[in-house]
C-alpha cells in the first residue's frame, strides 16, 4: 500500500469518526429555591432613570419566574449621613425622587428592608465620568456564534464601539443595550384560533393537521423591545489612554430582512462592579470547553445585615451613562432567519365563509413591546 493510499484510508476513517460532539444531558431540575434579586443602577440619566427592582427569583420544577415583594422600604444612603427614600412605583420597583441628582464627590449605598424584617444594605459606590461613544458600527457575521447544542452556527450583526479611554487612571467599563425590532405578528394561538372580542385564543381546534399554531398579524405598527442578553465588561488594563476600537458589545440575530435599532449604553464602573459583571459574563458563556471558568455563585455587593450566609444576586452601582442609538441596515445579511417568535410564522388561512377572518391582534404596550415607533427608527 502506498503512502498516499494510507492517507486516503486514514482520512476516510477520520471522517467516519466525526460525529456530533454535543448531546443533551439529563439533570434533575426539580429543586426549589427563591433568591433575592436586586436590579437597576442609580444613574445620571434623570429623564429615564433605572427602575430599582427588589424581587424574588423563584425556581420551581425547572421554571424560573420573578415574584414581587410588597411593602418594601428602600432608600439611598449617602456616605455623608443623609438618606433619600426611594419612591415605589405602581408597576413595581423604585425610582429616586425627580429632583435627585448624583453628587460626583459623594458615595451612595442602597438600603432596604423586607416585610419579614430582614434588612439589607449594599456597599458604597461612587459615580465616575464615562467617556462618550465615538463611533458605532456593525458587521454581519454568518458564523457569529454556535447554537446552544453546538450543532450549527447562528448568524448575527455584530455591533462594535470605539471610544477614548480616560488616561492615567484605571477604568472599567460596562455596556448594555436595548434592541428594537419591528414585528409582523403580535399573537400566536396554539391548537386554537384567535377570537378578537374576547381577545383570547378561545376557538378550540380539535384537529390541527399542520403546524400546531396560528400566528396573527399586528393591528398597526408594533415593536419588540429586547433587552441585552448579556452584559459586556472591559478593563483598560491594556489600553490606558488610547482610543479603544472594535469593542464588540452586541450580537443582534438575523431576525428579519429589515433593519433594526439598538440603543447602546456605555458606563464607567467601579472595579468591584467590574468583577461582579465579569463573573456574570463568564458564567453565562460556559460552553463546556477546556477554558471554562469554574462555577461560582453570582454574589454582588448587597448583604443581609442579619445573616452573612444569604447570597443576594445583583449589584447596586452608581453610574454615568453615555448613550447611542444605532441603526443596523442588515444590507449584507443573509441566511436563515432566527425568528423572534421562535418558529416559522404560519397564519390562519382566509376563508370565503367569514371575511373577518383571520383577524389582527392588538400590539399591547408592555415592558417588552410598544406600538410607538422608537426614537431613531429609520
Partner 1 sequence: MYSKLLITALLLCVVSSNIFSQTSHAIIVSVRDSSDNTPLKDVVIKIDAKRANLSSNNEGIHTFFLPTGEFGITISHLGYRTFRQKLLVKNSEISLTVSLINVAKELDEVTVNSQAINGNVARPLLGVSALSIKAIKKIPAMMGETDVLRGLQMLPGVTSVGEAANGVNIRGGTTDQNLILLDDTPIFNPTHLFGLFSIFPPDAVSGLELYKGGIPAKFGGRASSVIDINLINPSLDKFKMTGGISLVSNRLTIETPIVKEKLSIMVSGRVSFNDFIFKLGPPKLQNIKANFYDVATKLFYKMNAKNTFTFSGYLSKDFFQTDLLGTIGNVNATSTQYDYQTSNAALKWFHAFNSKLNLQTSAIYTDYQPKTLLPELNSDNKVSLESGIIYNQLKASLNYNLNEKHRLEGGISTILYRINPGVLNPGSSKSVNYKSVPEERSTESGIYLEDEFTISKKLTLSAGLRYSFYNALGGTVRSYNPLFSKTDFNVTDSTIYKSGETSASYGGFEPRIALKYSLSELSSIKLGYSLMRQYLQVVSNTTTPLPTSRWATSNTYVKPQVSELYSGGIFKNSQNNIYEFSLEGYYRSTENVLDFKPGADFLFQPYIETQTLQGKGKAYGLELMIAKKKGEVTGWINYTYSRALNQVKLSDRFDEQINGGAWYATNFDRPHSFNATISLSQGKHHEFGFTFVYNTGRPFTVPEGFVQYNNVKYPYYVERNNDRIKDYHRLDFSWTIRNPSMTKKRWEGSWTFAVYNLYGRANAYSVYLRSEKGLNAYQLTIFGSPIPSLTYNFKFM
Residues within window 134-193 making contact with partner 1, judged by CB under 8 A: 139, 143, 146, 148-153, 160, 176
Query: What is the C-alpha separation between 28 and 343, in angstroms, rounded?
Result: 27
Beta carbon nearer to partner 1, 14 or 352: 14
Q: Looking at 9-17, 72-80, 94-102, 125-133, which segment touches partner 1 (CB under 8 A)?
A: 9-17
Residues from 64 through 123 that contact partner 1 (CB under 8 A): 64-66
Q: Looking at 2-10, 85-93, 210-218, 260-268, which segment touches partner 1 (CB under 8 A)?
A: 2-10
Q: Looking at 73-81, 92-100, 179-187, 296-304, which segment touches partner 1 (CB under 8 A)?
A: 296-304
Beta carbon nearer to partner 1, 97 or 142: 142
Please tell me the count of residues contacting partner 1 according to CB under 8 A.
97
Query: What is the C-alpha separation between 301 and 125, in angstroms, rounded?
Result: 10
Beta carbon nearer to partner 1, 102 or 313: 313
Q: How far is the CB of 164 from partner 1 (least distance, A)?
A: 10
Cell numbers representing residue 197 in the block: 372580542
Query: What is the C-alpha separation between 96 and 89, in angstroms, rounded?
Result: 10
**Of 257, 296, 364, 378, which one interacts with partner 1 (CB under 8 A)?**
296
Whose cell is 433587552? That residue is 227
Q: Tell how far CA 85 is from the center of its chain.
A: 28
Query: What is the C-alpha separation between 89 and 367, in angstroms, rounded?
Result: 14
**Of 14, 168, 198, 356, which one interacts with partner 1 (CB under 8 A)?**
14
**Of 195, 199, 221, 242, which one interacts with partner 1 (CB under 8 A)?**
242
Q: Is 234 in the site for partner 1 (CB under 8 A)?
A: yes
Question: Which residues make Cβ contacts (< 8 Å) with residue 341, sequence separation at least 6?
Answer: 183, 185, 188, 215
Beta carbon nearer to partner 1, 103 or 303: 303
The DSSP letter of residue 101 is: -
On whether the CB atoms of residues 256 and 185 are closer than 8 A, the answer is no
Query: What is the C-alpha separation between 11 and 213, in angstroms, rounded?
Result: 46
| Contact letters for partner 1, residues 16-45 (x by CB under 8 A) | xxxxxxxxxxxx-x-xxx-x-x-x------
On whether the CB atoms of residues 266 and 232 are closer than 8 A, the answer is no
Beta carbon nearer to partner 1, 47 or 237: 237
Residues from 303 through 322 that contact partner 1 (CB under 8 A): 308, 311, 313-314
Q: Is 327 in the site for partner 1 (CB under 8 A)?
A: no
Beta carbon nearer to partner 1, 138 or 348: 138
Q: Is 348 in the site for partner 1 (CB under 8 A)?
A: no
Q: How far is the CB of 321 from partner 1 (least distance, A)?
A: 15
Residue among 324, 321, 300, 323 nearest 128 (CA): 321
- Give the three-state DSSP class for 285: helix
Q: How far is the CB of 27 from partner 1 (least distance, A)?
A: 4
CA angle at 136 for the pair 274 and 159, rounded to the nearest 5°: 70
Q: Is 230 in the site for partner 1 (CB under 8 A)?
A: yes
- Give the three-state DSSP class for 39: strand
Beta carbon nearer to partner 1, 192 or 272: 272
Q: Is 335 in the site for partner 1 (CB under 8 A)?
A: no
Residue among 258, 262, 244, 233 nearest 158 (CA): 262
**Of 85, 169, 211, 293, which one interacts with partner 1 (CB under 8 A)?**
293
List Cα–Cα distances, 314 to 37, 113, 215, 285, 311, in angstroms.
Answer: 6, 16, 37, 18, 10
Amino acid at each position: 500500500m502506498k503512502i498516499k493510499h494510507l492517507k486516503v484510508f486514514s482520512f476516510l476513517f477520520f471522517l467516519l469518526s466525526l460525529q456530533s460532539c454535543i448531546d443533551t444531558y439529563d439533570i434533575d431540575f426539580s429543586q426549589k429555591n427563591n433568591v433575592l434579586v436586586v436590579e437597576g443602577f442609580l444613574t445620571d440619566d434623570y429623564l429615564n432613570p433605572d427602575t430599582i427592582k427588589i424581587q424574588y427569583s423563584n425556581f420551581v420544577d425547572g421554571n424560573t419566574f420573578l415574584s414581587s415583594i410588597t411593602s418594601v422600604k428602600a432608600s439611598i444612603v449617602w456616605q455623608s449621613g443623609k438618606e433619600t427614600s426611594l419612591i415605589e412605583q405602581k408597576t413595581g420597583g423604585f425610582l429616586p425622587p425627580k429632583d435627585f441628582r448624583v453628587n460626583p464627590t459623594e458615595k451612595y449605598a442602597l438600603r432596604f428592608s423586607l416585610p419579614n424584617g430582614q434588612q439589607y444594605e449594599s456597599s458604597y459606590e461612587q459615580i465616575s465620568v464615562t467617556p462618550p461613544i465615538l463611533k458605532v458600527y456593525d458587521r454581519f457575521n454568518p458564523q457569529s456564534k454556535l447554537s446552544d447544542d453546538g450543532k450549527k452556527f447562528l448568524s448575527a450583526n455584530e455591533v462594535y464601539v470605539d471610544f477614548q479611554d480616560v488616561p492615567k487612571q484605571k477604568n472599567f467599563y460596562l455596556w448594555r443595550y436595548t434592541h428594537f425590532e419591528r414585528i409582523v405578528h403580535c399573537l400566536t394561538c396554539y391548537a386554537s384560533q384567535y377570537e378578537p372580542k374576547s381577545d383570547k385564543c378561545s376557538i378550540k381546534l380539535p384537529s390541527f393537521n399542520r403546524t400546531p399554531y396560528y400566528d396573527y398579524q399586528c393591528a398597526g405598527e408594533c415593536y419588540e423591545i429586547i433587552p441585552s442578553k448579556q452584559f459586556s465588561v472591559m478593563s483598560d488594563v491594556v489600553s490606558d489612554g488610547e482610543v479603544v476600537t472594535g469593542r464588540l458589545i452586541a450580537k443582534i440575530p438575523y431576525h428579519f430582512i429589515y433593519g433594526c435599532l439598538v440603543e447602546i449604553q456605555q458606563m464607567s464602573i467601579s472595579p468591584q462592579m467590574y468583577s461582579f459583571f465579569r463573573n456574570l459574563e463568564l458564567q453565562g458563556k460556559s460552553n463546556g470547553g477546556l477554558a471554562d471558568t469554574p462555577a461560582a455563585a453570582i454574589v454582588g455587593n448587597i448583604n443581609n445585615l442579619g445573616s452573612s450566609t444569604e447570597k443576594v444576586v445583583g449589584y447596586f452601582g452608581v453610574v454615568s451613562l453615555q448613550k447611542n442609538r444605532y441603526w443596523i441596515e442588515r444590507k449584507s445579511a443573509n441566511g436563515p432567519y432566527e425568528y423572534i417568535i421562535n418558529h416559522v410564522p404560519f397564519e390562519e388561512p382566509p376563508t370565503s365563509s367569514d371575511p373577518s377572518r383571520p383577524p389582527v391582534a392588538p400590539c399591547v404596550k408592555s415592558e417588552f413591546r410598544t406600538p410607538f415607533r422608537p426614537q431613531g427608527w429609520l
